[in-house]
Structure 1
Amino acid sequence: MKAIRRFTVRPVLPEPLQPLSDLARNLRWSWHPETRELFQSVDPGRWAASDGDPIRLLGSVPRARLAELAGDGDFLARLTAVSDELRAYVDGDRWYQQQSRSADLPAAVAYFSPEFGITAALPQYSGGLGILAGDHLKAASDLGVPLIGVGLLYRHGYFRQSLSGDGWQQEHYPVLDPHELPLIQLREADDTPAQVMLALPGGRFLRARIWLAQVGRIPLLLLDSDVEENDLGERGVTDRLYGGGSEHRLLQEMLLGIGGVRAVRTYCRLTGHPEPEVFHTNEGHAGFLGLERINELCEGDDGLGFDAALEAVRGGTVFTTHTPVPAGIDRFDRDLVARHFGPAAELPRIEVDRILRLGAESYPGGEAHLFNMAAMGLRLAQRANGVSLLHGQVSREMFAGLWPGFDAEEVPITSVTNGVHAPTWVAPEVLRLGGTSAEDGDERWDGAAALPDPDLWALRRTLRERLVDEVRDRLRASWRQRGAGSAELGWIDGVLDPDVLTIGFARRVPSYKRLTLMLRDKDRLTELLLHPERPVQIVVAGKAHPADDGGKRLIQELVRFADDAKVRHRIVFLPDYGMAMAQNLYPGCDIWLNNPLRPLEACGTSGMKAALNGCLNLSVLDGWWDEWFEPDFGWAIPTADGAAMDTDRRDDIEASALYDLLEQRITPRFYERGGAGLPDRWIEMVRRTLTQLGPKVLAGRMVREYVERLYAPAARAHRALGAEQAGELAAWKTRVRSAWPSVGVDHVETSAATATVELGTAVSLRVRVALGDLRAEDVEVQAVSGRVDSEDRITDAVSVPLKPVSGPDTYGRWLYEGPLSLDRTGPFGYTVRVLPAHRLLASPAEPGLVAVASDAVGREGGTRMEGNDELGFASGQGDRPLRVELLNGKAE
């Protein structure tokens, strides 16, 4: 019979065991071995049955066992030690507190993300974005960075995956009860649940309660719309991660951004936590947070105007983009967005047209009827970054349309390469090789340098053997779900071999990640799997989006190959890929395979997690691997570049290169044996991966970079942009934009007598510019020079400011002079441009205005190119640079 109502019955712990409840509700247990070992000792069998979830464990332990533990002196001593250690971890000074004594750091940072992968016990993630967000919070906790995480609580989480008999992905959505999760409901002083509320069209409201997950030192606020006061439709807003249609997604993102800011204010009011000075949006999903902050500043009789509020908000906002393709960006119909804002809905004080212009695709190739969340995120943030060096470059090119007067390399998007949280992802045996604490943000594996080869190789085999055992268990469960009987599954006892080279491939399954590239030549793959002396075995896992039938077909193709009795002991597909599976998969593999279409992998952190366990990478040079690849750490799969390359031809070429690497370089090195009967060269690659690559890929390094390069400057900008200063900057931008059509470069002359000069020759420029109603202090006039290509494009450009020497004349023109640095031989070019200049600008490209000299300047008066749209993003480009030829010898 089915229950008509459900309750959560909490265990009553004896007084001496009360600290167990505090330990269970702080998710630090998910990366702290001593805490997990303590819970395991409560009841090892029930710990395993609870999948390592302390909340579930404590709810299942019999009262007799609890009473026994309450009288166990040894257990209570361990409990006291672990509890005291957690208190010291939470309350003591760490890296951030040491830095803040000498650096101007923010009092707090609010970090918004649509998903967070903290632990399998809190399934609020789908893939890399959420796992990265979870690692960001954990590393911030270890470093003492005062972050507040903000997300949504999805009652069904992401889906659970299984396979049908013919290998087709099946989705299941278990209901999650917040009372059975490691969460605490935030309450007002009168003990009523704290709520945030959004106004919806038609006089309706969307209400959400606030749940708190404690991630070490970091509070994570999760908004839940499944409350009785909501209508049925509004109750389902936070039902599933990345589910529903356009309006459903829009409401999720409004709740995350607008409701999230309100939740932060509520949390700080109730707890006394410092208010954030910096707001960091992890991808565009939370972009509406900037609108809510503008709305706050516009409130009241003394509130700021929209333009001044926008400048104040931009100063303290950081935007991180994770997608290298426009298709990965959330875009909504403008009319749908318009219906949800304004007098009859949310943020009534802000003109709807101002909101729509923030998300407008007002650039070549943009679609006028769409509202682009990434465009809004960039317009609302003074600082933006990609997640690897290559991705930063791709992002600058992808979003260059927002700054069309600038070369892509000048687009104000930097990069901070992702990292991963070692205590979460590294096997305890490997972590013990470290020479420093696993929680100080500077994890190293110095012990691996001194570990004898036999011990290091034995450790790798132990991890491989552990993976083999887990694969067999999971494969047996999967086949039973697919309808097989126990009598049919005896072959699973022979699946995989702990002494065979093991390759891992696990990730989401969009087409660009190319799950089935390894199947391009099935006969050749079969030969690799079944090689009599040098076999390989492959473990594959991954989920396709529920609406992505193409991804599901890729999974089915791989599953059908892996079902073949000839190879099924050498290649397996494991359904329901998640954190729990990954934590054994990474350490147990020898090779981590990644073969996306370059450059569509923004970072690819799974390979980082594998590397931290001594697994070597075999990857296309994309994401982080493009940045840090060295032959000591693994192998690079050659790519078939070229815009005209046929898709099938490209895949054939790259698959063939993959097979060649495995046949000719990787398997021989794994199986070759030195004098002591060990694969000496392989072991040395493992050692160098741990000691040299390991420190680079850590989340601690990543978070320190965010603090030093983005959070601290954003906090300084936030403080500098008070009401008066923000108003000043907004008024200045309005004045400059109004005057910009009159700005131009009228005349350029150089002291060089000919177009061919000698290296080292001192050449000076005299430039006459028209500034209209602007003053010299409103602009910077620059000489931009460098090598030129066959189309006269300047490469490796160097910008040098010129100085005003007189002006304005009767025509409003100013004279500027300065040197032109001729420091490279060969074809060399220069041009002159005018940019706005103000002490409060983070980048000269920020206003998006530029006037560039044309190649006609100096001959017939020239032309003027200016950029000036209403949001301050450039709309003009200059002509070709002037060109000279530099010689090593005398001038000809």
Structure 2
Amino acid sequence: MPKGGVAYFSAEFGLDESLPIYSGGLGVLAGDHIKAAADLNIPLTGVGLFYSKGYFQQRIDEDGAQQQLYPPIDPDASIYPVQLVRDAEEKPLVIEVTIDGRQVYAKAWSVQVGSVTLYLLNTDVDSNSGEDRRLTDTLYPSDPNVRISQEILLGIGGARLLAALGIQPDVWHMNEGHSAFLALERIRTLSAEGVPFETALEAVKASTVFTTHTPVPAGHDVFPIDLIDRYFSHYYWQLGTDRERILSLGRVDGAFNMTRLAVSTSSKVNGVSKLHGEVTQDLFHRWMPYIPRQDIPVDSVTNGVHIGTWLADGMKRLFDRHLPSGWAVRTQERDVWSSVRDIPAAELWEEHQRAKSEMVRELDLPIDMSGDGPLIIGFARRFATYKRALLIFRDLERLARIVGDPQRPVCLVFAGKAHPADGPGKELIQKIVELSREERFKDRVHIVENYAMDKAKKLVQGVDVWLNTPVKPMEASGTSGQKAAMNGVLNCSVLDGWWVEGYNGRNGWAIEGATDTSADLQEQQDSDTLYRLLEEEIVPLFYKRGERSFPMEWTNRMKESICSLAPVYNTHRMVSDYWNNIYVPATARGRRFVADQFEVASRVAAYKQFIRGHWSAVHVRKVDILDDHSSRIGLNKVAFRAEIELGVIWHKDVRVEAVGSDGRRGIWKAKLDPVQQLAKGLYVYEGVAPSVPIDIWKANVNVRVTPVSPDFASDFEMELAAWGGVPCPS
């Protein structure tokens, strides 16, 4: 029986346009993730759903309205062979889940991506009712009953599928919260073996990791509690605990939040860029108000893209000629990419022009490509309001002057789908179509319908500038700009997501994206910055030819973009980070927790129950700040003295700290040590501050007590803290 490796669960996977079981960036990222795992020989198994009709095919009618078409997927049409999974007797393997009180059956399909197998569940099975056969027709249905049914199938059904296949992963990776029910199924399995609930929870948590991609509360799946009761009333008792304990794992503001469930059942949580990690800390701080935002246990692994998928064929051949041998499997090495600087500029420009002409031809764009053609700016992504597709149209007269200059023409190419239920998103498409028909924008503004991976490849390879204008900080990462960058396309983007990390002042352009003002003022400032960049820098640089037939300074910037971004923002680096920083530690942790009949998991569960049962007795009774006074710890330094009441909790099971604001959204901490026991359970703690602000009282100083254990995955795993009477840092 296969044992070990990583089980990677995602609601969507974008491997290729011929297998349209993805809606956008999350799915494409998941597809790139498993491709990189295969390249690096990382033992990983993918688990998802096989949507019979996939994400919709988009048509834009004469009025600019988006129409959704749902043709069935032909499994044989994919360049990745899709095969029905069969059992030892060569019969189709079928798994069973209970959904709303009825038995629902699902067959499994497999897709082989190098050494990685992706398993996909589908309910189009003869033994199901007509309604249940359609459960896996489409992605992200608006009906909450179908949505929760799909997530039960993905999480619970996916875990049962792996068990049926004899696959026993060391690490379970939830890519977004859609699959979080898998943690409950794993607990149920252990409960059936006689493992107590709290012990099972700790064992599952130890080997589970969670990646969140959504920076706003509205982007997380939330179900009413009565809906959870309806679908799980038969299931609660099977987990070895009561309904309230199960609901507590996901309850937020009176509803059941799938992201909260994922966080509660994972030992490691990460965002998909450094900034997104911080934004996620802000978001989770609402759930953990007694922990400062900076201490919320969220790490980050910045997304990357699969170079083999997204690099133009002509660029691959160019790199084959000029980069060191084996460059395609050495994509994380900066020295490999530094050879791009030695590529003759004329060759690089010629290859880009070839990709640009191919894009215009393949996408049937009515753009005159005589000479080098116009400067083409691409904007392609899901049409959601926060991505601000209309930002560049804020001042129509100014934009008309920019694109309409006969000596320096500029074209805008838009592409993307709006979710079928997103009315405002559909209106954005309609508005762009209307504008493209105005005389001043005719032949200057174009929209490409039915955006998918095939068209995305042409766009990221062929445009001259990749435009990204989200409301900061609502772009978790964004990867389309990374795909463009490796092809020599220059980014012009709000400093959000990955671009905050990638931009160096020489490899593209930055729109500052102020966040401390009103939305309207922010939009005004961002659009002004964008227009200024186009007028003063981007357009002049593109058309600056001098005695050459191509723009030398522009191609130098293309080289800088490739050299600085390609070695960092690729999935080989990303998956290596997951392997070294998340998968390997989680493997060791998971094995340790289940060894010797769950000895560590049982101990941690008992310890947490004890702490929770007695935490209400923990108090910071008195805090003194001793400025320039001596203490038992030090002389002539800012020192802290606190009386801490612990009750029956051992003083070595807590950490006591003075915590203060540094005035720059950061905090400092000073450890306090017990120096005297005043009575049973009552201690005096003292400590000296580190380098602190001159006015200690303006630092919002406080003393806190937190439970600690060497077995915890983070210092704040229990989400508990007792503070003194003054406000805690936020």
**Same-fold status (TM-score > 0.5):** yes
Change in 2 beyond 3 A, CA 1:423/1:407: same
**Residue of 417, 420, 423 corresponding to 2:305:** 420
SS of aligned partner of 1:438: helix
Work out the CA distance in 2 between the residues paired with 1:358 and 1:247.
Answer: 21
User: Mean alpha-carbon deviation: is it higher for 673-682 or for 287-296?
Assistant: 673-682
SS of aligned partner of 1:600: coil
2:396 aligned with 1:503: no
On the 8 A contact 1:341/1:352 being kept in 2, the answer is: no
**Counterpart of 2:528 in structure 1: which amino acid?**
S
Change in 2 beyond 3 A, CA 1:112/1:527: same
1:190-589 equivalences under 5 Å are: 190-202=89-101, 204-267=102-165, 269=166, 275-300=168-193, 303-343=194-234, 347=238, 349=240, 351-361=242-252, 366=253, 368=254, 370-432=255-317, 433=319, 434-435=323-324, 436-440=326-330, 442=332, 444-472=336-364, 475=365, 492=366, 494=368, 498-564=372-438, 567-589=441-463
On the 8 A contact 1:153/1:223 being kept in 2, the answer is: yes
Change in 2 beyond 3 A, CA 1:234/1:766: same
Residue of structure 2 in register with 1:148 after alignment: 45
1:853 CA drift (Å): 2.1
Residue of structure 1 in register with 2:615 after alignment: 740
Work out the CA distance in 2 between the residues paired with 1:167 and 1:154.
Answer: 27
1:825 CA drift (Å): 4.6
2:725 aligned with 1:850: no
**Consecutive unaligned residues in structure 1, runs of 5 or more:** 1-105, 476-491, 856-877, 882-892
SS of aligned partner of 1:630: coil
1:724 CA drift (Å): 1.7
Q: What are the superposed Cα offsets for residues 805-864 of structure 1, whole Å, 9 maximum, x if unpaired?
A: 343x43421233333324665557443221101111111211011112234xxxxxxxxx
Residue of structure 2 in register with 1:818 after alignment: 687
User: TM-score by structure 1 length?
Assistant: 0.76
**Counterpart of 1:731 in structure 2: which amino acid?**
A
Change in 2 beyond 3 A, CA 1:760/1:622: farther
On the 8 A contact 1:143/1:441 being kept in 2, the answer is: no
On the 8 A contact 1:199/1:346 being kept in 2, the answer is: no
User: TM-score by structure 2 length?
Assistant: 0.93
Work out the CA distance in 2 between the residues paired with 1:164 and 1:227.
Answer: 35
1:751 CA drift (Å): 5.2
1:770 CA drift (Å): 1.2
SS of aligned partner of 1:126: coil
**Residue of 690, 697, 718 corresponding to 2:569:** 697
Work out the CA distance in 2 between the residues paired with 1:641 and 1:386.
Answer: 20
Change in 2 beyond 3 A, CA 1:379/1:393: same
**Counterpart of 1:834 in structure 2: which amino acid?**
V
1:390 CA drift (Å): 0.9
**Counterpart of 2:122 in structure 1: which amino acid?**
D
SS of aligned partner of 1:402: coil
**Residue of 651, 656, 668 corresponding to 1:776:** 651
1:13-24 equivalences under 5 Å are: none
Q: What are the superposed Cα offsets for residues 19-60 of structure 1, whole Å, 9 maximum, x if unpaired?
A: xxxxxxxxxxxxxxxxxxxxxxxxxxxxxxxxxxxxxxxxxx
Q: What are the superposed Cα offsets for residues 643-666 of structure 1, whole Å, 9 maximum, x if unpaired?
A: 4x253x443332232122111111
Change in 2 beyond 3 A, CA 1:818/1:424: same
Work out the CA distance in 2 between the residues paired with 1:815 and 1:754.
Answer: 17
On the 8 A contact 1:744/1:852 being kept in 2, the answer is: yes
Residue of structure 2 in register with 1:185 after alignment: 84
Change in 2 beyond 3 A, CA 1:764/1:549: closer
Residue of structure 2 in register with 1:660 after alignment: 532
**Consecutive unaligned residues in structure 2, runs of 5 or more:** none
Change in 2 beyond 3 A, CA 1:344/1:659: closer
Change in 2 beyond 3 A, CA 1:795/1:604: closer
Work out the CA distance in 2 between the residues paired with 1:284 and 1:818.
Answer: 41
Q: What are the superposed Cα offsets for residues 325-348 of structure 1, whole Å, 9 maximum, x if unpaired?
A: 111111111111111113379957
On the 8 A contact 1:501/1:670 being kept in 2, the answer is: yes
Structure having the higher Rg = 1
Change in 2 beyond 3 A, CA 1:654/1:843: same
SS of aligned partner of 2:327: coil
On the 8 A contact 1:785/1:797 being kept in 2, the answer is: yes
On the 8 A contact 2:274/2:301 being kept in 1, the answer is: yes
1:879 CA drift (Å): 4.9
**Counterpart of 1:456 in structure 2: which amino acid?**
L
Residue of structure 2 in register with 1:888 after alignment: none
Work out the CA distance in 2 between the residues paired with 1:571 and 1:499.
Answer: 15
Work out the CA distance in 1 between the residues paired with 2:213 and 2:370.
Answer: 35
**Counterpart of 1:556 in structure 2: which amino acid?**
Q
Work out the CA distance in 2 between the residues paired with 1:811 and 1:581.
Answer: 71
SS of aligned partner of 2:566: helix
On the 8 A contact 2:197/2:239 being kept in 1, the answer is: no
**Counterpart of 2:481 in structure 1: which amino acid?**
G
After superposition, the CA RMSD in angstroms is 2.4
1:532 CA drift (Å): 2.0
Work out the CA distance in 2 between the residues paired with 1:653 and 1:750.
Answer: 45
**Counterpart of 2:190 in structure 1: which amino acid?**
L
Work out the CA distance in 1 between the residues paired with 2:684 and 2:367.
Answer: 84
Change in 2 beyond 3 A, CA 1:596/1:764: closer
1:538 CA drift (Å): 1.5
**Residue of 470, 477, 489 corresponding to 1:596:** 470
1:531 CA drift (Å): 0.5
1:501 CA drift (Å): 1.1
Residue of structure 2 in register with 1:798 after alignment: 668
Report the number of matched residues. Answer: 711
Residue of structure 2 in register with 1:126 after alignment: 23
1:437 CA drift (Å): 3.3
Q: What are the superposed Cα offsets for residues 100-150 of structure 1, whole Å, 9 maximum, x if unpaired?
A: xxxxxx930111100000011211101000000001111111111111100
Work out the CA distance in 2 between the residues paired with 1:494 and 1:880.
Answer: 59
On the 8 A contact 2:659/2:729 being kept in 1, the answer is: no
On the 8 A contact 1:764/1:819 being kept in 2, the answer is: yes
**Residue of 541, 547, 556 corresponding to 1:669:** 541
On the 8 A contact 1:107/1:277 being kept in 2, the answer is: yes
Work out the CA distance in 2 between the residues paired with 1:425 and 1:215.
Answer: 16
Work out the CA distance in 2 between the residues paired with 1:879 and 1:137.
Answer: 43
On the 8 A contact 1:387/1:602 being kept in 2, the answer is: yes
On the 8 A contact 2:394/2:527 being kept in 1, the answer is: yes
Change in 2 beyond 3 A, CA 1:209/1:493: same
Change in 2 beyond 3 A, CA 1:344/1:499: closer
SS of aligned partner of 2:329: coil
**Counterpart of 2:723 in structure 1: which amino acid?**
V
SS of aligned partner of 1:376: helix
1:780 CA drift (Å): 1.5
Work out the CA distance in 1 between the residues paired with 2:623 and 2:419.
Answer: 57
1:716 CA drift (Å): 1.9
Residue of structure 2 in register with 1:841 after alignment: 712
On the 8 A contact 2:705/2:723 being kept in 1, the answer is: yes
Change in 2 beyond 3 A, CA 1:752/1:597: closer
Residue of structure 2 in register with 1:716 after alignment: 588
1:641 CA drift (Å): 3.6
**Counterpart of 1:377 in structure 2: which amino acid?**
A
